[in-house]
Structure formats: structure tokens, C-alpha cells
Structure 1
């Protein structure tokens, strides 16, 4: 297990194939330009490390996951259209080639850009007291990434209500609409997130990479076009998977009635 120093705005904890990323900017874990750039570097290193397979992102403290953009930093001169870093705002939503699963462990208030950060993850787990909102409209601005993503993730009319009114929803409602995968007691949230991360990390990494690239590529494609790119091995992760030792290992393990040993090659 490896931890980063505890006094930075972004802390990491590495255990086996799992990386934990904790946003730690008291009082509310808001993200300014410098923090966003740092998060981008952390997630780029995660993407490029062959020994890391799954990441968990959470917030420090019991109250806030992340409220999004740091308005105090903006008032002090941080430009809204400034340099967010390699991964865009929060380091995730525009990071190219991120073909590894990321779990959001939402430990409290999750709104604005913080909800956009969670939407950039593949799985969202929430503490029982977590709340969600897109309050940008009340500040005279637009939740840009959420306006694109949220209507594709939950029922259109619910997404539009959140965008147009800034209404808050609790974890139970978020779960009902499919925004949240599971709800856990606050004191068990990270334990459950780690258990899920370890379970996913035990699977075949080349398959996980292919799944993520297929889903991303197919998002705005016609079914047959997307399927053709898969069957013709036009996606790099799919081409690598179909020619891999792991693919043969999966077949052999099934035939021999044993657990496969994944090597990621």
C-alpha cells in the first residue's frame, strides 16, 4: 500500500491494482484550476500505469464529495475558461484513452461540477446522506458537461428538471432514477467501494479496456457501424484483446474448470 503526503489537495492511496484518489480542499472540496490540473496528472498516471486497473474517486470529510468549481477562486481571478489540464475539469471528463474503470464514492454533497465529475465515472456509489444537484442556473450559467451527459443517463424529464430548476435530490431518489448504482451507510462507503474495485480489478484488464472503448465509440454511432468496427478489429483495444494471451487463457481456464490467470497481454 502506498499513500501520497497528506497535505495536498489531491491525495492518492494505492493498494494492489486499485488507486484511490481523494479530493481534499477544505472546507468544501471545490476545484480550482491548479487542483483540476493536478487531478488530470493523477488520472493520466493512472491511465498509463500497467499495474493499475481500477480507480476510486472520493472526497475528504463527511459532508462534501465536491461542489464543483471554486467560486472564491473564480472571484480572485481564476478564469472559468482557463487551463483545466490534460483531463479537462476534474481531470476525468476529457482525458483521452482512459480505458480503465473508475468508481465514484460520493460521500456527501455532490453538485455542479462535482456531479459532472461523478458522471465521468463508470459506477457511482453513494452514502445514505449524499445529495445531488445542478444549481448552475441559479448563478446564471450552464452546467455544460451535465447538459450533455445527464439526459442520457436518467429519464429525460428528470434530467431537464434538475438542469432547469436546480432542484436537489437525495441518494434514494438518485438511486431510483438510476443515477446511483448503490447506497451504503456512510461508515461503510469506502469499504464497499474498495470491495467492488477489487472485484473488478480481478477481472481481465484487456476486456475491461475493450468494453470502455466500445461503449465510448458507440455512444453516438449507429448499431451496425459500431458493431462493424468491433468485428473488423478497428478499435485498438479490441484488436489487442483478440490477439492476446489472455483471450487464450480464458478459453483454457474454462475448459480446464479453473480460475484464469490474467496477465494483461
Structure 2
């Protein structure tokens, strides 16, 4: 393990003789994607991105769940602009990372947690993993997922998740292309893919191949994400229903929608 504070929400270490950077979400059971988690992930990815012999990254988690999602408290009007800015920088960093980023997820993988997972290159899940974007149920929409899901799966399936707020299991996610593979041991499946592929390749060529595979994708998502972040702050957060939905969630009561 690297020398990180005991209070850090992330464990960081090298695997495969320095070829694989390991990042483990370490605030079970919820592993909330809050400012501290976003900051730790961003710092680790930035610190090690130029390691000469690195060939990939694996993000997994402690506890039964990958993540319950982003912090609802940080979605409130006085904090939401800063939260979206940092989360979206992390998503774009993952999307444009110069080497393959694998994610292994069990349990719940929801909201901001699924946005982080989807921004990686390869998502490995358990057949029973629950993946979804429940934001619409709280009266908001997920900007990053609105960009990423249509790039990963058929548009109709992406719109289903975004507009219904329902979750799907890992087996369905793999059939739809959202996940690379559903396995009883997602971490082992991710490591096997790495060992049989990137671990055998030139790190220098792998960086170019990774960039080539996502040429155009990063620019499309960056442009759309900027527009949706502005829509979220300027339009959505001015509605009664968005503020009511978030407040109702925190107060543990049903929301009262007024259509305005």
C-alpha cells in the first residue's frame, strides 16, 4: 500500500510488479462519491499517470457495494456547483486516461458511482450487481451519465435507465454492453483480462492504442457535459421540484411535485 492517511477514502498500491495501479474505494458500506472520494481518486490518477512501466488501473471496493452514489447533501444549491465541477473533472480524467482503466463492481453501483465506473474502459460486474441512475426519482438528472450511457449501450436502453430511474442487474448490463463481463468474481475477471492483454504489451504503444480507441469520444463527452452542467445549474436548480426532491430525500419523506 502507498503511504496515504488512515482517514483516506481510497487505498492505493501497485500490483503486477508496478504494471497495474490499484485503487480501492474504502468507505464501506456506501462508498459515497463525495468530495473526499473524488479528490482522492483524482489525486491518485494524476500522481501516477506518467509512470513509465504502468499498463493499466483497476478500481474496486471494500465492502459489499461499489457505491450508493454521490452525496445528496453536496447536491444542495449552495454546494452543487463545486460538486459538479470536481465530479465532471474526474469523469473526464477517467475518460481520457492514457492507459486502460478497469472497474470491478459488486452490490450497488448507482448514481455518481456508476458514472465513475462507466467512464472507465472496462467494467466487470457480478451477475447480481445492481446498476442504475436513480437521480430522476429525486427530481434531478445525471449530467455525466446522460453523456456516457448512450456511448456505452443502445440509446433506448440508456434512456430507459435515465428516465425511469430503475436499476438493472449485472447480467443485463453485460448483455446491453454497459459492462464488459458479468462474473462471480469481478476482480479476478478484471485481473485475468489485464494479464492476458495489456500486461503483455509495450507500455508506450499501449498509451497510443488507448488514445486511439477513444479518439473523438472524449471531445464529444466534454462538449456535451459542459452544456449539461450549465443546464443543471441554470435551469434545473431553479425549479421548485428539483429543490423539493433533494430536500424530501434528506428529510426522509415523499416529495410533493408541483410541476414547476
Structure-2 residue corresponding to 1:144:
143
Q: 1:149 and 1:112 mapped to 2: Cα distance?
A: 12
Q: CA deviation at 1:153?
A: 1.3
Secondary structure at the residue paired with 1:25?
A: coil
- Paired residues of 2:124 and 2:187 also in contact (CA < 8 A): no
Structure that is richer in helix per residue? 2
User: How far, CA to CA, are the matches of 1:84 and 1:198 in structure 2?
Assistant: 35
CA distance in 1, matches of 2:211, 2:20: 20
Distance 1:60 1:113 in 2: 17
Distance change (3 Å), C-alpha of 1:204 and 1:184: same
Q: Which is greater in Rg?
A: 1
Q: Which residue does 1:211 correspond to in 2?
A: 209
Judged with a 3 Å threshold, the aligned counterparts in structure 2 of structure 1 residues 51 and 171 are, in CA distance, closer, same or farther, namely: same
- CA RMSD in angstroms comes to 2.4
Distance 1:172 1:78, change over 3 A: farther
Task: Give me the whole-angstrom Cα distance separating, in 1, the residues matched to 2:34 and 2:217.
Answer: 30
**Where does 1:1-265 land on structure 2 (aligned, <5 Å)?**
2-4=1-3, 7-15=7-15, 16=17, 17-62=19-64, 64-72=65-73, 79-82=79-82, 88-89=86-87, 92-95=90-93, 98-185=97-184, 188-199=185-196, 200-219=198-217
- Find the residue that maps to 1:217 and give its secondary structure: coil
CA spacing shift, 1:39–1:91, aligned 2, 3 Å:
farther
Bigger relative contact order, structure 1 or 2 (CA pairs below 8 A, ≥6 apart): 2
Whether the 8 Å CA contact 1:55–1:197 is kept in 2: the answer is no
Q: State the alpha-carbon separation in 1 of the partners of residues 33 and 156 from structure 2.
A: 29
Q: Distance in 1 between matches of 2:171 and 2:33?
A: 26
Cα distance, 1:91 vs. partner?
Answer: 6.6
Q: For 2:215, what is the secondary structure of its paired residue? A: helix
Secondary structure of 2:98 counterpart: coil
**Kept in 1: contact 2:11–2:24 (CA 8 A):** yes
Residue 95 of structure 1 aligns to a residue whose secondary structure is helix
- The structural deviation recorded for 1:194 is 2.1
Deviation at 1:47, TM superposition (A): 1.0
Query: Contact (CA 8 Å) 1:56, 1:197: kept in 2 or not?
Result: no
Q: How far, CA to CA, are the matches of 2:117 and 2:72 in structure 1? A: 19
Return closer, same or farther for 1:34/1:118 CA change in 2, 3 Å cut-off: same
Structure 1, unpaired ranges of 5+ = 222-265
